[in-house]
Amino acid sequence: MRPIYIEPLTRAAFAPFGDVIETAGATHFAINGGMTERFHDLARIELAGAGARPLLSIFRGRPYELPLRLAMVERHPLGSQAFYPLSGRPFLAIVAPDEDGVPGTPRAFRTGPGQGINVARNGWHGVLTPLEAVSDFLVVDRGGEGNNLEEHHFDEPFLVLDAP
């Protein structure tokens, strides 16, 4: 198996694949008579196709152990997909560049406290990969007509490892 080493999640490193959702460095302002701080427009939600509408869901994922065998990635051609953890536990954001319609070499990012991700429309990514314990995630993605899922199975899997 080909190794992939886990990187820390930063806005700059993740930018080719979508958005990092976090309050640090975000535009914010007071609302509700100064009693609430609004962290505004944290991700670009993309919806395309007939009858497109946003979906708001909670996913509950069982934890994965490292090293992780990565045999498949997926993409959603009609909408972005955002994941924000409802716990302080980390998860892996596994993404891959598009190379003429197929995924290139994946990258794996470990989220820090208070970080989520928004994978851009048509961006290759791994499945929801919580670490440590069962974890809930607030998910924003696309509903509506059309096939919004494409899977790619690698001929040779990758092995996702902690950085040496």
For 105-143, write each residue's pLDDT tens digit. Answer: 999 999 999 999 999 999 999 999 999 999 999 999 999
The pLDDT score that the predictor gives to residue 148 is 96
The pLDDT score that the predictor gives to residue 76 is 98
CB 85 within 8 A of CB 116: yes
Q: What is the mean pLDDT of the chain?
A: 97
Pick from 105, 100, 106: nearest CA to 129 = 106
The pLDDT score that the predictor gives to residue 163 is 85
pLDDT tens string 37-66: 999 999 999 999 999 999 999 999 999 999
* Concatenated DSSP letters of 52-64: -EEEEEEEEEPPP
Question: Does the structure show a pLDDT above 90 at 20?
Answer: yes
What CATH number should be reported for the domain holding residue 62?
2.60.120.480
The pLDDT score that the predictor gives to residue 19 is 98
Structural domains in the chain (count): 1
Q: How far is it, in rounded angstroms, from Cα 103 to Cα 25?
A: 31
